Structure 1
Amino acid sequence: MTRGEREIILFEQGWELMQTAITKLKNILEGLPEPQFSSEDYMMLYTTIFNMCTQRPPHDYSQQIYYKYRETFEEYITSTVLPSLKEKNDEFMLRELVKRWAIYRVLGRWLSHFFSYLDRYFIARWNLPRLNEVGLTCFRDLINKEREGEQVDRALLRNVLDIFVAIGMGQMDWYENDFEAAFLKDTVAYYSQKASSWILEDSCPDYMLKAEKCLRREKDGVSLYLHSSTEAKLLEKIQHEFLSVYVTQLLEKDNSQCHALVRDDKVEDLSRMSELLFYLSKNKERFRLLFRIPRGIEPVSSLFKQYVTAEVTALVKQAEDAASNKKAEKKDMVGLQEQVFVRKVIELHEKYQAYVNDYHTFHKALKEAFEVFNKGVAGSSSAELLATFCDNILKKGSSWKLSDEDIEETLEKVVKLLDYISDKDLFAEFYRKKLARRLLFGKSANDDHERSILTKIKRKCGGQFTSKMERMVTDLTLTRENQTSWEEYLSNNSHANPGIDLTVTVLTTGFWPSYKSFDLNLPPELVKCVEVFQEFYQTKTKHRKLTWIYSLGTCNISGKFEPKTMELIMTTYQASALLLFNSSDRLSYSDIMTELNLTDNDIVRLLHSLSCAKYKILNKEPNTKTISPTDYFEFNSKFTDKMRRIKILLPPVDEKKKVIEDVDKDRLYAIDASIVRVMKSRKVLGHQQLVMECVEQLGHMFKPNLKAIKKRIDDLITRDYLERDKDNPNFFRYLA
C-alpha cells in the first residue's frame, strides 16, 4: 500500500497504544508481572509512532507526541518516584533513591528508543531538546516557572535534586555534571534574554531594581531547592549577564545628558540624575552589585563626582549672586549670606558623606568634587569662611540658636570640611585672630566648646596646628587666677590703689597674633594704673617684661553732659583722647596727635568715631564727615542719648589683608625650613626632587608656589646653606 493510501491513525487511537506500551514498560521496571517486549511489539510501537509523525497535516502528530513524551516523565516523577521516596527514611531512603534513579534512567533509554524517530527528524528539524535531555528540561522548566513568579511545587524541585546529590554518595560529580552544568547554561540563556530586553526598555534605576530582585530570588532559590555549592556559581553568572555585559551602556543611558548639563550650568536639570545616585547609595546591596565586577564602580564614581561638583558649584554661584545683589549691599548682609552658604555646604557634605562611608573610590570622588568649595565665594577664601562660621557659632549672641549638643555636632561637621581646604595655615591664622577677639573681649560663649573644637582640629591636623591656640585658652585661664592675685594685692596695699578698676590680661608672646604696640602717651589717670600693675607683676616674677598693647584695651568712663551723665564704653585710644578735654576746651588735630603720640591713621580713626559717627561726643570744625589735619575739636556738652550706657566703636580695620600678609611671610619661613630639612638628610639632591619633597612635606598645610620654592633655594644659596654642584648646576649640596 502506498503512503498516500495508508490508513490515517488518529491521535487518541495512537496514543492509547503508546500509553499501553509505556505502562507495560513501567510495570516491567517496577518488577510487576508483565510479559517482556517481543520484537513484534517493538516494531508495532515504532511503526505507529513513525506513521503518526509522517502523516500529512493536519494528522502529523509529531509535536503532540513530543509533548506527551515530556508529560510521561513529569507524571512518573510526581506519581511514582516522589511518593516512594517519602515513604522511606535513613538507609532505606538511600536504597530507594538508587533504585529509583536506575529505573528512571532505564525508562529514559527505552522510551528514547521507542520514540527515536522524533530525535532523528522532528527534534532535529525544530531544534528542540533531545529525548534524553527531556528529563532535565522538565526540571529546568519548573525552575523557569518559579522565576516568572508562578506557583510551583518547591518540595518537588528539592526532592528531585536530592536524587543527584544522594547518588553521588558524598561526591558532587553527578549533581554537577548531570544537573548543575545544564542548569547554569539555561540560567545564562534565560537572564541574557531578560537583560537584553530590560536594558532597552528601562531606566538605569529600574533596571537595577529588576536585577536586584532577580539576584535575591535566585539566592533564595538556592536555599529552597538547590545545593548550597551552586550559589556562588549561580550569582556570578547572573551578575555577569546583568552588570558586566551592560555596565557601560547602563550608565551612559542616564549619563547621556550629563556632560551637556554640567557644561551649560543647568544644575536644576542635573537633579534628575540624582535618582541613580540615591538609588545606588541608599540601597547598599544594590550599590555593592557594581563592586562585584571589574572596574564596575568607576563609572558610577565618575558620575557621582560630576553630580556633586555641580551641586557645590550651584551653591557657590547662588552665594556669589546673593553677595552681589543690590539688596545685600550692606556688609552684614553679605556676611550673613556667606554664613548660610557654609551651612548649606556642610549639609550637602553630610548628605553625601553618609552615602560613601564604606567606599574609598567614592571618598576620592567626594573630595575632588568639594574642591570647588576650596575656591571660596564673594572674595572670601574657604579658609576665612570656615573660621568666620566657627566664630559665629562660638561667640555670645550667636545668630545660630543651637543647643550644646547641636553646637558640638556642627563643629564636628565643620572640621570635616578642613579636608577640602588646601590653605589650612590660612584657616589657622583667621581662626586664631577670631579666637583672640572672643577671648580678649569676653565674647566667647562657652570655654568647653572652645576646647572641644580645638581637640577636633588637633585630631584632624595634628598637635602643631593647634598648639598656639591651646596656649591662648590656657593664658585666659591663668589671667583669671592672676586677676584674683591682683585684687588681693590692692586690698593689702591700699596706698597703691590707683582709684580705677583695672583688669589686665597677660598674654604669652609668640602664641597670640601680632598686634601693633605704640608708645601711647596715656593720661595721668591711666599712667598710675600701669605703674601700680607693673609693681604688682614684679612681685610675681622678675624675669618677664610686660609690653602694653593699648590697641586692645577698653575703658568704661563717665561722661558728664548737661542733659545727663552717661557711661561710655570705648577703646583705650578713644578714652585717652576724651580725657584730654578735661583740661582743654578746644584742641586741634595736631594737638591731639602730639599729646597722644599716635600715627595719622590711628588719629583719623578715633577722631572720626568721636565726632562723625553715630555718637558725636566731640564737635568738629568744620562740620564735615571727614577728618583732616586742619580740624578743631570741642567737647559736646549737650550730647545726649536715650540710653544711659553706650558703646562707641572704632571704624573696623580690614584684618584680612594683614592675615594674608602674615601667612605669606610664615610660608617663606616654612619653605626655608623644609628645604633645609630635606637637604640636611639627603646632602646632595637634584632640583626637581628637592621641589617635589618640599611640596610633599608642606602639602598638609598649604600648596607651596613652585616659583617661591625656587626663590627660597636661591636665597639659601646666598646665605650659604646650600651650594650648586660644580659639575651639574641642577644639583645642590648641603653646607653644614
Structure 2
Amino acid sequence: MCTGRHGNQGAVELGSETKEPLLVYQKLLEAAWIFRTRSYYEQEAKQAIAALPLSEFIRKAHRRLEEESARCQRYLDPSSHDKVLHPMITEYIIQHADIIYADFRTMLVKQQQQDCFIIYTLLLRVKDGVLPLQTTFETFITNECRQKLSTLDWTSPKIIGEYVDSLIALYTHYTTICERYFANDPGFVAAFDKAFRAILNDRVKIRQPELLARHCDQLLRRRTRDTAQALEERLVTMIKLFGYLDDKDIFQKCYSRAMAKRLIADASISEELEMTVISQLRKLCGIDFVGKLHRMLTDIELNRDLNASWQAWSGNASDGGGIDMTALVLTTGAWPLLNQSQSQLILPSMLERSLSNYTAFYQEKFTGRKLTWFWHLSKADVRMHHAKRRYELSMTLYQLAVLLCFNRQSQCSLSEIRQQTGLVAGDLTRTAKSLVDCGILRSDTALDTEPSNALLSINEQFESKRTRIKINAPSPVESAQEQTTTAKAIDDDRRLFLQAVIVRVMKSRRELLHLDLVSETIQLATPRFNPDVAMIKRCIEQLIDKQFIERDLTNRDLYRYVA
C-alpha cells in the first residue's frame, strides 16, 4: 500500500466536518497501515533473531525504530505515531525480551556499553521494561566489585590505600556508566547505590568505617605532589563512599580520634581541607554529627590568639617567664582523648615555673576555669651538648623526662628512672626503647625481654649527619583492653542516642504502642547506625526506670510520656 502526505491529509479532511474528524482517516488508512506494519515486522524480526548475533539484532531494531518513526512523521497524522510503533516494538522487542535480558549481563561483562545503551533505549518504550535491567545491573556491580576487591593482599602494609584506590576506581567507573549510558536514570542510580551499600557494609578484615576514617587521616596528613583541588576531590569522593555505610557512628568515632591526634601534632595538611570534610559530613548527617569536629577546629583557631597573648604576658613577667612554651587549651568533651596515659608524670623541676606562669596567665584571663594537663600528648625541643657536636632534638615530654635523669649521672636503672619520672612500666619501657633505638641511650640488656633489670647509659659516641633530629614517639599497639574500651564507648554512645530518640518521639506523640515506638526509633536511628531491636527494648526499660515514660496499667504494650 502506498500513500503520501497529500493522501493522509485528504483522508483527514474527509471527516473534518463530522463529530469524529479522524474516523475516516483511521478506517481508510491507519488500520491498514498498522496491519501491514505488524505483518512485516513479525516476519522480519523472526528472521533477524535467528540469523544475527544479538548485538546486531538490537542495532537493527534500533535502526528500524528510527526509520519507522521518521516514516510516521512524514506520511501519517501525529495521532498515529504511537499506534504504528507499537506493533514494531512488540515484534522486535517484547517478543524477544527474554533473550535480550539474558544477554544484557554478558554485554556488561564484555564492557559493550554502547549495546547496553541501545537495549536501555529500546526497553524504555516498554512498560516496566527496564526493571529487569536494573536488577541485573545491581547484581553485576555487586559481584564484580567483590571479585576485584577479594584479589587484594590483606597482608600488605599498604592495604588501606590499595583498597580505597580500588574502591574509588570502581565507584568512578560505574558512576560514569550510569551517567553516559543510562542517562542517570533514577532506577539505575538506585541499583548502583544498593550495590555499593552492600559492598561498603561487607565484612572485611578491617572494619569498613575504620578503614575509610584511616585513609582520610592519611590524606589529610600526607604531603604529596597532588594539588589541593585533587585532594579535595578525593576527600569528597571518600565522603560519598561514607554515605553508604550503615555504621556511620563508628566512622565518626575513628575519624574524630584521628583528627584530634592530627591537630594536636600540628600534622594537618590544611585547615581548609579539614573544613571541607566537616562540611560534607554535615550535609549527609546533620549538625549534631559534626558538632565536636567543628569545635576542635575552633579550638585550634582560638589557641593562636591565646598563645599570642601568652607570649606578650610572659615577656612582661617579672621572673622572665621561664622556659619558652606554648599550650593548646582544648574544650572538655569535644576532644576524644581516649588513650589517656596511666602514668602520673613527675614534672621536671626546670618546667615547673613555666607551667605555674601559664596557669596564672590563664586564670587571670578566664576566671572559674580549671586546666588539666595531658603530659602524654606534650612535646619538647631540646639541645644536647654531650656529644662531639650539638644536636637539637624534637621529642615527647616523656622522652625528655627520661633524658633529664642523665643530667647528673651517666647511667640509671629503669627502676631509678621510674622513681624520678613517675612513669608506669609500659610507658617507661616504650619510651626508653625509643631512645635506645635512635642511639641516644644504651642498654645493657634487651628491653623486650628483661626491661626491669635494664641499666641505661648515655651514648657518648652518638653521631648523626643531621643536627636537627626528630625522635619518633613510641606508638603502642592497640591492646585488646583498648579495643574493648572503644567498643564499649561506641555502645554507650548508641544507647544514649537511642534514649534521646525515644524521648523525642514520645514527647511529640504523648502515647504510642510498642511496635510503633520501635519502628519510629529504627527509622530515626538508621541514618546514623542500624539499631538492634534488643538494644531499643533495653533503652525503653531504662527510660521507664528513669520515669521518662510509663506503661499503661491495662495495656502493657502502650507507653505514655511522663511530662
TM-score (norm 2): 0.90
Q: CA deviation at 1:502?
A: 1.2
Partner residue of 1:467 out of 282, 291, 294: 291
Matches within 5 A, 1:47-196: 137-139=1-3, 157-169=4-16, 171-196=21-46
Q: CA deviation at 1:734?
A: 4.3
Q: CA deviation at 1:208?
A: 2.7
1:381 paired with 2:211, answer no
Aligned residue number for residue 356 of structure 2: 531
Equivalent-residue separation in structure 2 for 1:353 and 1:471 (angstroms): 38
Equivalent-residue separation in structure 2 for 1:316 and 1:477 (angstroms): 41
Aligned residue number for residue 76 of structure 2: 226
Partner residue of 1:340 out of 135, 147, 165: 165
Alpha-carbon spacing, 1:198–1:601, altered in 2? closer, same or farther (3 Å): farther
Partner residue of 2:256 out of 428, 432, 456: 432
Q: CA deviation at 1:557?
A: 1.0
Of stretches 479-488 and 217-226 in structure 1, the one that deviates more from structure 2 is 217-226
Equivalent-residue separation in structure 2 for 1:535 and 1:204 (angstroms): 83
Counterpart AA for 1:648: I
Q: Which has the higher helix share?
A: 1
Aligned residue number for residue 127 of structure 2: 294
Q: CA deviation at 1:378?
A: 5.1
Aligned residue number for residue 265 of structure 2: 441
Aligned residues: percent identity?
29
Partner residue of 1:314 out of 130, 147, 153: 147
Q: CA deviation at 1:535?
A: 1.4
1:247 paired with 2:94, answer no
Asked if the contact 1:586–1:635 (Cα under 8 Å) also holds between the matched residues in 2, the reply is: yes
Equivalent-residue separation in structure 2 for 1:253 and 1:378 (angstroms): 32
Note the residue ranges of structure 2 that are not aligned, 5 or more in a row.
none
Equivalent-residue separation in structure 2 for 1:689 and 1:654 (angstroms): 45
Asked if the contact 2:440–2:459 (Cα under 8 Å) also holds between the matched residues in 1, the reply is: yes
Asked if the contact 1:342–1:389 (Cα under 8 Å) also holds between the matched residues in 2, the reply is: no
Matches within 5 A, 1:468-617: 468-493=292-317, 495-498=319-322, 500-515=323-338, 516=340, 519-611=344-436, 613=437, 615-617=438-440
Q: CA deviation at 1:202?
A: 4.1
Q: CA deviation at 1:624?
A: 4.9
Q: CA deviation at 1:430?
A: 1.7
Equivalent-residue separation in structure 2 for 1:278 and 1:443 (angstroms): 47
Aligned residue number for residue 679 of structure 1: 506
Alpha-carbon spacing, 1:235–1:405, altered in 2? closer, same or farther (3 Å): farther
Counterpart AA for 1:630: N
Partner residue of 1:279 out of 97, 115, 122: 115
Q: CA deviation at 1:358?
A: 3.3
Asked if the contact 1:342–1:386 (Cα under 8 Å) also holds between the matched residues in 2, the reply is: no
TM-score (norm 1): 0.70
Aligned residue number for residue 457 of structure 2: 634
Alpha-carbon spacing, 1:723–1:160, altered in 2? closer, same or farther (3 Å): closer
1:413 paired with 2:228, answer no
Aligned residue number for residue 86 of structure 2: 236
Partner-residue secondary structure (3-state), 1:555? strand
Deviations 1:555-602 (A, max 9, x none): 111122333222221111111121122133333223222322233322
Matches within 5 A, 1:713-732: 713-732=540-559
Alpha-carbon spacing, 1:483–1:292, altered in 2? closer, same or farther (3 Å): same
Note the residue ranges of structure 1 that are not aligned, 5 or more in a row.
1-136, 140-156, 259-268
Asked if the contact 1:316–1:373 (Cα under 8 Å) also holds between the matched residues in 2, the reply is: no
Partner-residue secondary structure (3-state), 1:558? strand
Alpha-carbon spacing, 1:616–1:686, altered in 2? closer, same or farther (3 Å): farther
Equivalent-residue separation in structure 2 for 1:454 and 1:214 (angstroms): 53
Asked if the contact 2:411–2:457 (Cα under 8 Å) also holds between the matched residues in 1, the reply is: yes
Equivalent-residue separation in structure 2 for 1:469 and 1:236 (angstroms): 58
Q: CA deviation at 1:494?
A: 5.5
1:705 paired with 2:532, answer yes
Partner-residue secondary structure (3-state), 1:510? coil
Partner-residue secondary structure (3-state), 1:557? strand
Q: CA deviation at 1:546?
A: 1.4
Alpha-carbon spacing, 1:438–1:316, altered in 2? closer, same or farther (3 Å): same
Equivalent-residue separation in structure 2 for 1:451 and 1:349 (angstroms): 28
Partner-residue secondary structure (3-state), 2:451? coil
Equivalent-residue separation in structure 2 for 1:235 and 1:421 (angstroms): 45
Q: CA deviation at 1:622?
A: 2.3
Alpha-carbon spacing, 1:521–1:303, altered in 2? closer, same or farther (3 Å): same
Q: CA deviation at 1:182?
A: 0.7
Asked if the contact 1:567–1:646 (Cα under 8 Å) also holds between the matched residues in 2, the reply is: yes
Partner residue of 1:455 out of 254, 279, 293: 279
Asked if the contact 2:376–2:397 (Cα under 8 Å) also holds between the matched residues in 1, the reply is: yes
Equivalent-residue separation in structure 2 for 1:464 and 1:304 (angstroms): 36
Q: CA deviation at 1:723?
A: 4.7
Counterpart AA for 1:374: L
Q: CA deviation at 1:338?
A: 3.2
Equivalent-residue separation in structure 2 for 1:632 and 1:309 (angstroms): 59
Q: CA deviation at 1:178?
A: 0.4
Partner-residue secondary structure (3-state), 2:189? helix
Aligned residue number for residue 123 of structure 1: none
Equivalent-residue separation in structure 1 for 2:399 and 2:202 (angstroms): 36
Deviations 1:43-72 (A, max 9, x none): xxxxxxxxxxxxxxxxxxxxxxxxxxxxxx
Q: CA deviation at 1:649?
A: 1.8
Equivalent-residue separation in structure 1 for 2:147 and 2:384 (angstroms): 53
Alpha-carbon spacing, 1:193–1:379, altered in 2? closer, same or farther (3 Å): same
The aligned length equals 553
Q: CA deviation at 1:453?
A: 2.3
Aligned residue number for residue 648 of structure 1: 471
Aligned residue number for residue 154 of structure 2: 323
Q: CA deviation at 1:724?
A: 4.7
Higher relative contact order (CA 8 A, sep 6+): 2
Asked if the contact 2:104–2:116 (Cα under 8 Å) also holds between the matched residues in 1, the reply is: no
Equivalent-residue separation in structure 2 for 1:567 and 1:167 (angstroms): 104
Equivalent-residue separation in structure 2 for 1:231 and 1:544 (angstroms): 80
Counterpart AA for 2:215: F
Q: CA deviation at 1:397?
A: 1.4
Deviations 1:177-216 (A, max 9, x none): 1001110111122222223333344444433322221121
Counterpart AA for 1:246: H
